Amino acid sequence: MSRPLHELGVVEARELLQRREVNARELAAAVLRRVEEVEPRVRAYITVTADLALQQAAEADARLARAEGGLLTGVPVCVKDVLCTAGVRTTAGSRILEGFVPPYDAHVYRRLRAEGAVMVGKGNMDEFAMGSSTENSAYFPTRNPWDLDRVPGGSSGGSAASIVAGEALASVGSDTGGSIRQPASLCGLVGLKPTYGRVSRFGLIAFASSLDQVGPFAMTVRDAARMLRVIAGYDPRDSTSIDRPVPDYEAALGDDLRGLRMGVPREYFVEGMEPGVREAVLRAVGMSGELGAVVDREVSLPSTDHALAVYYILAPSEASSNLARYDGVKYGYSFQAGGSMWEEMEQTRGRGFGDEVKRRIMLGTYALSAGYYDAYYLKAQKVRTRIRHEFEAAFERCDVLVAPTSPTVAFPIGSRVDDPLAMYLSDVCTIPVNIAGLPGVSIPCGFSDGLPVGLQVIGRPFDEATVLRVAYALEQALGVAGRRPAL
């Protein structure tokens, strides 16, 4: 075999396992050795489940021996620590859940296991998914494998870094305002946010319930398509889950874009975008035309400038409601040395939540308070509707939209921690997609100063098949997919 086992892709590994050229236990052991080698430097995992991984790998080998394997049987994956896993601690990157062990599995994890995936561990993340750099983790920052002095993005930074570092073959994360696509861009891999309602949120620890969506990371579009097929589908336990067929996303992949209408929204080339990012994205857009797409550079989404403000009213408002459940009474961290129940609850939250979480709870509580609800929350909901309508109008003339994923490459650790606004601007290109509930994928489209640049492909609701088809065609033409740094 020409490559180390830990650098295999999902589909490639599954085929080797099927042909019995490698067994699942060997593959899991190789990945776990890689974790031991690089994890002290990368810090992608909050919890490594080595014994469980080897047990699940042995079960996968038994299934394969009986020719009963699923789509991911024997494939080692990382699971973001915001998804509940029965018997394995789930912290959401927060001290307030440091010792929490869920009694049930999230729907997505259950689907992964049903198809035979092997869990290597729980990926590090910004606390309660609130952040764009994984520096808000209550435990430690994750480092970008391309440059260990830079961030991997966030909030799913551990899920992204684990794959690029060879500590997993694929992973799942959550995306509330860009938390899959932005780290995919900064780490140089594929990250997909499905349509809101395409993947069940049952067992996902909530941040902002009208925006959160679970999705896959992988080194290639084909691998991401395989992962999405596994986790997508209706779940009656999630009231926002949509009951509609799940296509065979891999079958939809192809390198022909002839006749496809591609829009390039001019508002996404924001002020402050790094020149190297702009050049790489525009080069990919030009490649689309060479592949036969009809490129429309006059598409406009005029309310894009307001998306960041809308998000930072709606998301904190929902967070202030969702996080009210953490009171130290039923589970999680509990301060019990106070003079009254109210003092203990106040101390539990004061000690258990980090600064960024407290900041957003206060923002949301203020926006929902009497006298300010109409001025902030209600107005933000109205602008959200306008943003969604502008996307609908754009998709009347285009099949997909393409844009930068992040206005910058990975930035140095510590460079934005004292400037929340600068940190929030990291998601300026991804947030509108969440507000409108659309599918979007980030793929590597080049490098700037030796660091990856991501291109975002945005589609109509539940048209992930077209989004992936475009992403796959560009991936094949650009020839930068699958590159890994030397660690």
Question: 410: which DSSP letter?
Answer: P
Element (H, E) at 403: strand 400-404
Q: Would the pLDDT of 453 be above 80?
A: yes
Between 437 and 418, name the one with better pLDDT.
437
Superfamily of domain 1-487: Amidase signature (AS) domain (3.90.1300.10)
Average pLDDT over residues 456-467: 98
371 dihedral zone (left: phi>0; alpha: psi -120 to 50; beta): left
121-147 pLDDT tens trace: 999 999 999 999 999 999 999 999 999
In the structure encoding, which two tokens stand for residue 237, read together? Answer: 């336990």
β-pairing, 261-263 vs 400-404, is: parallel
Specify the higher pLDDT residue, 389 or 419.
389
- Condensed to tens digits (0 to 9), the pLDDT of residues 272-290 reads 899 999 999 999 999 999 9
- The answer for residues whose C-beta is within 8 angstroms of residue 210's C-beta and 6 or more apart is 196, 314, 318
Residue 1 pLDDT > 70: no
Q: CA 462, CA 343: separation in Å to the nearest integer? A: 47
12-59 residue pLDDT tens: 999 999 999 999 999 999 999 999 999 999 999 999 999 999 999 999
pLDDT on residue 25: 98
Query: How much is the mean pLDDT over the chain?
Result: 96
Q: Are 478 and 446 in contact (CB under 8 A)?
A: yes
Please tell me the distance from the alpha carbon of residue 173 to that of residue 171, in angstroms, as a whole number. 7
Query: Residue 28 and residue 264: Cα distance in Å, rounded?
Result: 42
Answer whether residue 2 shows pLDDT above 80.
Answer: no
| Cβ pair 10, 72 in contact under 8 A | yes
φ, ψ at 442 (rounded to 5°) = -110, 135
Catalytic annotation, residues: 80, 155, 179
- State residue 287's pLDDT score: 95
Per-residue pLDDT at 77 exceeds 90 = yes
Would you kindly state where each structural domain of the chain is located, as residue ranges?
Answer: 1-487
d(CA 81, CA 174): 10
pLDDT tier, 469 (very low <50, low <70, confident <90, very high otherwise): very high
Is 47 in a helix, a strand, or coil?
strand
* Helices (runs of H) and strands (runs of E) counted in the chain: 15, 11
Which band of pLDDT confidence, cut at 50, 70 and 90, is reported for residue 61? very high
For the residues 377-395, what does the mean pLDDT come to?
97
Average pLDDT over residues 412-434: 91
What percent of the chain has pLDDT above 70?
100
Provide the token pair at 447: 């490098």
pLDDT for residue 314 is more than 90: yes
Which amino acid is it at 453? V
DSSP string across 117-185: -EEEEEE--SGGG--SSSTT-SS----BTTBTTB---SSSHHHHHHHHTTS-SEEEEE-SSSTTHHHHH
pLDDT (tens digit per residue) in 239-267: 999 999 999 999 999 878 999 999 999 99
Which residue shows structure tokens 């606004």?
421
Pairwise CA distance, residues 221 & 130, whole Å: 27
